Chains A and B, each alone.
Chain A
Amino acid sequence: MTRRALFYVGLALLLLAVLFPLYWVVVTSFKTTRDAFAIPPVWLFSPTLENYRTVFANRGFLNAFANSFIVSILSSALAVAVGSVAAYGLAQQPAELRRAREKFILSLRIAPALLFVIPMYYLATRIGALNKHWLLIAAYAFVNVPFAISLLLTFFDDIPKELRDAARVDGAREFSIFWHVYLPAARGGIIATLILCVLFTWNEFFVALVLTGRDTQTLPVSITSFLTFQGIQWGALTAAATLIMLPMIVLGVLVQGQVVRGMTLGSVKG
């Protein structure tokens, strides 16, 4: 009995350690400045939306929200479209050829982002593309394609080969097999891949920091502006932080099974 009690105490401590930082940020975003900085901390307080009003009054932040949205959706859709075509082809190859290609695709994800971001920045300054959305979309699509291919391959592998053979016997051409058999059969996996690409792009900071200009800043870059103006405005900052991460946490929890699977392949990231 005591062992059981000890286990639940340990479990509670573990969850506290995991969740407390998140809880503290979200809760602080509903506090007045005075409550936010009170020592000892205030556990019970009357919530205020003041911080959210400050954030929504910030033009740059709203703009960044739109940028993050456009860039993550478009680059992920592009990567999944290209990735699923390639993954379909690769899934049909003999093991040896396939393994070699897979290894190459994974190796693309090991290099530090610095390696391709500096040349991209250099070229972008020369052709004046630094403040353009397409530059960012192209950069993220390039990063996401190898990830999409390797993840989609695992989903396409789950589709029974008999489906393809049956379609071929019926005289279907490869593209219509891909379109009418594989895409519908792997729909869940494709959506999960898309969500993981969006999640990654939405959270990504380094590439965005270097390749965005004033008009194309994404959320993680834009939030750093709260760090410099007259010290740190923790109230507004925590509200902005909550707005940035909550949609992704909800999305991530919805596809939780796929997240871990995708992270294994994907965390060897650009």
Chain B
Amino acid sequence: MRPVAAASDPTRHFFQPIIICLTVASVALTLFVIWISLHDLSLMRAGREKFVGLDNYIRFLGDPRAMAALWRTVLFTVLATVIEIALGLAVVLFLDRDFAMKRLVRTLLLVPIIMTPVVVGLTWRFLFDPATGMANYLLSLVGIAQVDWLGSPRIALFSVLVADIWQWTPFVILLVMAALESAPTDPLNAARVDGAREWQVTWYVLLPMLRRALAIVALIRAIDSIKAFDLFYIMTRGGPALSTETLNYYGYIVAFTNFDISYALAIAIILTVFTNVALLTMYSVLFPKTGDR
């Protein structure tokens, strides 16, 4: 609060109070969350909380349901991110030419992204209905036996994955398309003049130029997939036989079905740490050079 600094730069007063509020809120929240996670606090047994130290974290390590959920989260995140990036990139390369309705196509690609996720879940549940759904009808047209999309523990996770891919691949397409359009065309033409084949131009010139955009989209998709909730709640509620229960979903069940607040917060903290570790790992893999942002 030195008056000189304040007088010379009054714009600080515009953001500092808000940054301070956000900082205080997040620090207080973090401390509160850690404090509760070190206790045994349940809404079912109000007023009987006691300090238990790291018990909730130790319990997590020995909880087979939590471990399975963690593994499922990893599987879902890796598959969703890899498939969405690969499929999105393929579509972008496919659309990389001038055609009449390009603007219209781009607008239509927005539709899945801005659709309410709950409605997306319902839509796919409707399509995946075993008896009357469109998915099995299409399969029957080509003579493939019916599939119990959401009722079979071996398949359900992949059915949810399909819905996630449907909603978010367009997001990858739009962002990578934007990056491609702002990229310089000179290196591509230079390579062509040098006699490179089209696939060589794509692989050695175009992809390296899109690397940064692809990496950022991959990071965003990975974070969102780790936290995915709506589709799971609407399509499977973690079932059948817990086969689609991710860590985020398990945390929700522990908190709001079992009312075991402390253990749920321990799970939430582990999920946050896990997200950040995954993020930093991905970041250092995708941006190996230091100081690249």
Contact = CB atoms under 8 A, between A and B. Distances in A.
B220 A82 contact: no
A142 B25 contact: yes
A241 B122 contact: yes
Contact of A224 (B227, B234, B267): B234
Contacts of A119: 29, 32-33, 36, 265
A199 B110 CA distance: 13
B199 interface: no
B229 A110 contact: no
Interface string B106-132: 111111111111111011101100011
A112 B268 contact: yes
Nearest to B29: A116
Interface residues on B, range: 35 or more
Given A28-B126, A263-B171, A253 B26 contact: no
A178 B14 contact: yes
A241 B18 contact: no
A28 B115 CA distance: 17
Interface string A35-60: 01101110000000000000000000
A269 to B, nearest CB: 7
Interface residues of A, number: 80
Interface in A113-133: 113-116, 118-119, 121-122, 125
B155 interface: no
B11 A93 contact: yes
Contact of A112 (B105, B122, B175, B227): B227
A86 B264 contact: no
B206 interface: no
A195 B240 CA distance: 38
Interface stretch (B58-66, B186-194, B250-258): B250-258
A15 B132 contact: no
A205 B117 CA distance: 8
A185 to B, nearest CB: 16
A88 B229 contact: no
A21 interface: yes
Nearest to A199: B114
Given A108-B26, A259-B113, A210 B256 contact: yes
Interface in B76-107: 91, 94-95, 97, 99, 105-107
Contacts of A206: 229-230, 252
Given A7-B94, A86-B14, A112-B248, 14 more contacts: A11-B105, A41-B137, A90-B15, A104-B23, A112-B268, A115-B265, A118-B265, A122-B43, A220-B117, A224-B233, A237-B126, A256-B107, A260-B110, A268-B220
22 contacts: A7-B94, A11-B95, A11-B105, A14-B105, A17-B166, A18-B170, A21-B166, A28-B126, A89-B16, A108-B26, A113-B227, A114-B267, A119-B265, A122-B36, A145-B18, A174-B14, A199-B114, A238-B126, A245-B119, A248-B116, A253-B111, A260-B110
Interface of B: 9-16, 18-19, 22-23, 25-26, 29, 32-33, 36, 43, 91, 94-95, 97, 99, 105-120, 122-124, 126-127, 131-132, 134, 137, 166, 170-171, 174-175, 178, 216, 220, 223-224, 226-227, 229-230, 233-234, 248, 251-252, 255-256, 261, 264-265, 267-269, 271-272, 275-276, 279
